[in-house]
Structure 1
Amino acid sequence: MTTTISTRRGGRPDEQPAPAPRTTAIVLILVLGAIMTTFDMTVVNVAINRLSQDFDAPLATVQWVATGYSLALGAMIPATAWATGRFGGTRLYLAAIGLFTAGSILAGAAWNIESLIVFRVLQGLGGGMIMPVGMTILLRAAPPDRLGRMMSMFGLAILVGPLTGPVLGGWLVDEVSWRWMFFINLPIGAVVIALAARLFPRDAAETRRPLDVPGLLMLSPGLATLIYGVTTGGERHDFGSAGVIVPIVAGTVLIVAFVARAMTARHPLIDLALFRDRSFASATATLVLFAAGYFGSMILLPLYYQVVRGESATMAGLLGITGALASGTAMQVGGRLVDKFTPGKVVLTGITIAAAGFALFTGALAADTPYWVLMAALAVIGAGGGTTMMPTMTAATRGLSHDQAPAASTTVNLINTMSGAVGTAVVSVLLTNAMAGRVSGQATHLSDEARSSVAPALADAFQHTYAWALALIVLALIPALFLPRRPAKA
């Protein structure tokens, strides 16, 4: 059989991407696998109180069920570019899904809070590889003229997972058992492994680079320590204590040291030379600001419905479903648009729509705002997010060579994860400070009568916090202006 050869920007000749029908099947499998990880990043939040009751453990300890997962997730991402070259994308993806599924089964069978935390870390070690390795497989399989729509399909898990997780998680906790939040991954993981082993391309021989051990020992602990400090600050609603400042400073120092080393190392863990490319640098800068504002604000919506309006966790999740539907729909449209038009035009349009949605939502937010008004504004926000996130990632990765794909996907996913974590923590602190300045006492544990008396002040606190998220979204317009807005010359 004859092999057709093509050349991509900045690299050697590569094998022609898989035919369209098979590429679509590969993307759908990747979406199914990615949904498990994005779902598990949010689903535990609705079960914190139930876990505290069942295991008779303090909330500070139970919170490590979520924090431990996030730390493991962030720590594993940096090594995936090297591991992809060492073991092959398909083999590494199958191993990651297997590890995540095994961790899910063990987490569902946990006998005490300590074992649950350990098994959640195991989940995170597998989950940290799934998204970047999956994106690498997609970049290598998708034809350049269809990359936008393929990336948009893949991105369904990134935007829809965090919004639907609280809905399904709330129902499982209320009606079935918290253990099924983890057991549900078993059939999904089994299907993904079976289909991936059958349909994914076989791993070809690759140039193996030595592992940058010093870089790994700087970046992975640095990220884990920084995430710990930021997350702890968000949980305590205080960034002034030594328990928060020390890990943040230590993590930052380690990351800066890694950057200094990566600029001179012969085989760095992450290739910083990618940032010399204008499209990649502009897209990642846009992603930092937009992801921090967009994903950081997601913590606000369920809290508003529960704290201000007195709704249950399940209902709070359901009331946010319009945003998920709008983002998923807009993502598919945006993916097709970015294949036809330049990324700069599509991303600028998406950010503008998202900013308009945030402005509408923030301006309308009050203690008695009709739900249909808020849901309509959420739909606009979701439409903007769906038209921004994956086109931005497409702009960062389009045209990269076969060898550049692992480093690019690792960097993009690392930035997305870190920006979301930092944004969530900062938004949490801003909300707490805003509520403390308007309401005395613990505002999250109020009777219905007490809530009605302070609801306007609480709503004002949420409105104030949403304004900060809106500011980040608007700031994302600045780096987006440097994305290509004219077709590249042949």
Structure 2
Amino acid sequence: MSRWRGNPWAVLLTLSLGFFMTLLDMTVVNVAIPSMIEGLGASLDEALWVINVYVLVVAALLIASGRMGDLRGPRTMFVWGLVLFTAASVLCGLAQDPGQLIAARAVQGLGAAAMVPQTMTIIIGTFPAERRGAALGVWGAVAGAATIAGPTLGGFLVGAAGWRWIFFVNVPIGAVVLVMAVTLVPDSRPGVRRGLDVPGVGLVTAALFCLAFGLTEGQRYRWGAGIWALLGAAVVLLAVFLVYQGARQRGEPLLPFALFRDRDYAVMNVVSAAVQVGMLGLFLPVMLYLQSVLGFGALEAGLVMAPAMVVSAVLSPVAGRLADRVGGKYVLMGGLALFAAGLAWLAAVVDVGRAWYEFQPPLLVAGFGIGCVFGPMVTVAMYGVEPRMAGAASGVLNTVRQIGTIVGSAAVGAVLQNRLAASLREEAAARAASLPPGVRGGFLAGFDDAAGGGLDVGAGRGGAPVRVPPGTPPDVAEHLRRVAASTFEHGFVHAMLPTLALPIAVIALGAAACVLVRRRPAGAPHAAPAAAPTDVGTPS
């Protein structure tokens, strides 16, 4: 291994595998939600917290862990984060109730937060300027591949071994990456020592928690005064955070405002958040729809997404090279437009009783668009960033992307829960007339109260308990169950249309924002290289 130690491409492979693990665990959970709901007796909002708490911790601590990388060394932080992430994955797989799983996911997010910002910092310090664009393109492609590989890989694992294996699979991968990190990645120090802005971390964490909790739990608490107070508190805390950061700009701010003087970097932060909203808007409702309405197994649902995943993975490096020739601006605009068009087409196709192949044309269009986004987005964002700001720029860009994931998951989940509760009541009222008078009241009450305890959806779950009164004739009981199933299926389909409208609109806004990106001449040099970090490790 000694001759490979410090080799840029060996380092990139190691970092990419670790980065892939952390991002995969953001999307792989989506396909397992119905199985987790059934296996742990969880409700939809509890399942959403399994997603959100991971992203919340990652988003809140990314910039701070980047600063810790400056203090302790990026490889050291990467290794310790990897160990924590892998150990927490075991705890996730062993969880016996929703609370245990949510707690373990929070610890897993802490490990991921320690790893992610170190990846770009080490890449920038390892690759010379003339090869840095290609390396960052690979890094961006890994992000795209992980995002879309999650449903397929998750579906395979859930179908073959159960939902717990979406976490257990991290153990052997983490062990391999740990060995590679210790033997291949030099132990470097950037040479810049910065303090840790604890008040800034606290403010942004509190703001994100209030936002995520308010959006995720809003339907359960019927959007009462307490929920709106939390959302208002999120806005106030964010404003206080920005004012506080403004006062620290001459010192060592957690959020350096100077980064946003580069218009391209500022626009790419907006685009990055928009893309994450779009990804969650695609995976969350579609995975529930495929399994809850169409009755697909987890593996079948994952395989429905597989062709789009392959198209995106193949296209990502091609899009990166094309961006160098014609400019990332136009590749990004085209990719985002195709992504939005694919989602709009998918919304038009969704209905009760659809076959898997009917979803392939819109999903392929969306996959084609996704493949044109991730690599060019990172390249455009980092193009004009000064080398001394590269670490901070990496942390901020990743943080904004994770904030987009939090907002996307919570907002899409909130719209889905709200619209599903309303459509279930409407569908139940329309179908109750076909039931005997003795069971109508209980049938309507079940769907009316569905939102109060958290909507109960998943494989074979109908959104509300169907209670058959004692002594009901078998034929009437069977008819009641069929009507309840039909109510849920049609209600879910009706709820999906406004749910998908949200990510479509956000992605379209992201595409429009790309108009502001500067047109750079083909072959123009990137920003000057960052000073190479000093290798303080002992050659092996």
TM-score, normalization: structure 2?
Answer: 0.78
Task: Give the aligned partner of residue 243 of structure 2.
Answer: 260
Matched, 1:465 2:499: yes
> Any conservation in 1 of the 2:281–2:499 contact (CA below 8 Å)?
no
> In structure 2, what is the Cα distance between the partners aligned to 1:427 and 1:57?
19
Task: Give the aligned partner of residue 439 of structure 1.
Answer: 427
> Any conservation in 2 of the 1:159–1:386 contact (CA below 8 Å)?
yes
> In structure 2, what is the Cα distance between the partners aligned to 1:55 and 1:401?
49
> Any conservation in 2 of the 1:326–1:380 contact (CA below 8 Å)?
no
> Any conservation in 2 of the 1:290–1:473 contact (CA below 8 Å)?
yes
Matched, 1:204 2:189: yes
Q: Which residue, out of 199, 216, 227, partners 1:214?
A: 199
Deviation at 1:195, TM superposition (A): 1.1
> Any conservation in 2 of the 1:109–1:179 contact (CA below 8 Å)?
yes
Task: Give the aligned partner of residue 470 of structure 2.
Answer: none
Matched, 1:414 2:399: yes
Structure with bigger gyration radius: 2
- Where does structure 1 lack aligned partners over 5 or more consecutive residues? 1-18
> In structure 1, what is the Cα distance between the partners aligned to 2:168 and 2:327?
43
> In structure 2, what is the Cα distance between the partners aligned to 1:137 and 1:239?
47
Q: Which residue, out of 327, 346, 363, partners 1:378?
A: 363
**Farther off after superposition, 142-151 or 301-310:** 142-151
Matched, 1:70 2:55: yes
Read off the aligned partner of 1:257 and give its amino acid letter: V
> In structure 1, what is the Cα distance between the partners aligned to 2:49 and 2:370?
29
Task: Give the aligned partner of residue 345 of structure 1.
Answer: 330
Assess, with a 3 A threshold, how the Cα gap between structure 1 residues 55 and 231 changes in structure 2: closer, same or farther: closer
Deviation at 1:126, TM superposition (A): 0.6
- Where does structure 2 lack aligned partners over 5 or more consecutive residues? 429-446, 451-455, 463-480, 526-540
Assess, with a 3 A threshold, how the Cα gap between structure 1 residues 25 and 247 changes in structure 2: closer, same or farther: farther
Deviation at 1:191, TM superposition (A): 1.1
Q: Which residue, out of 409, 415, 421, partners 1:424?
A: 409
Q: Secondary structure at the match of 1:476?
A: helix
Deviations 1:266-299 (A, max 9, x none): 1101212100111111211222333323333321
Deviation at 1:416, TM superposition (A): 0.8
> Any conservation in 2 of the 1:354–1:382 contact (CA below 8 Å)?
yes
Task: Give the aligned partner of residue 170 of structure 2.
Answer: 185
Matched, 1:475 2:460: no
Read off the aligned partner of 1:358 and give its amino acid letter: L
Task: Give the aligned partner of residue 531 of structure 2.
Answer: none
Read off the aligned partner of 2:511 and give its amino acid letter: L
Matched ranges for 1:130-279 at <5 A: 130-233=115-218, 236=219, 240-265=223-248, 266-279=251-264
Assess, with a 3 A threshold, how the Cα gap between structure 1 residues 237 and 326 changes in structure 2: closer, same or farther: farther
Deviation at 1:395, TM superposition (A): 0.9
How much is the aligned-residue C-alpha RMSD, in angstroms? 3.1
Over the matched positions of the two proteins, sequence identity in percent amounts to: 33
Assess, with a 3 A threshold, how the Cα gap between structure 1 residues 157 and 226 changes in structure 2: closer, same or farther: farther
Task: Give the aligned partner of residue 281 of structure 1.
Answer: 266
Q: Secondary structure at the match of 1:26?
A: helix
Q: Which residue, out of 90, 106, 115, partners 1:105?
A: 90
Task: Give the aligned partner of residue 373 of structure 2.
Answer: 388
Matched ranges for 1:282-321 at <5 A: 282-321=267-306
Larger relative contact order, structure 1 or 2 (CA cutoff 8 Å, min sep 6): 2
> In structure 2, what is the Cα distance between the partners aligned to 1:334 and 1:269?
33
| Paired residue total | 469
> Any conservation in 2 of the 1:327–1:383 contact (CA below 8 Å)?
yes
> In structure 2, what is the Cα distance between the partners aligned to 1:51 and 1:302?
13
> Any conservation in 2 of the 1:297–1:427 contact (CA below 8 Å)?
no
> Any conservation in 2 of the 1:350–1:386 contact (CA below 8 Å)?
yes
> Any conservation in 1 of the 2:32–2:155 contact (CA below 8 Å)?
yes
Assess, with a 3 A threshold, how the Cα gap between structure 1 residues 364 and 105 changes in structure 2: closer, same or farther: closer
Deviation at 1:484, TM superposition (A): 1.9
**Farther off after superposition, 61-70 or 425-434:** 61-70
> In structure 2, what is the Cα distance between the partners aligned to 1:125 and 1:417?
13
> Any conservation in 1 of the 2:329–2:519 contact (CA below 8 Å)?
yes
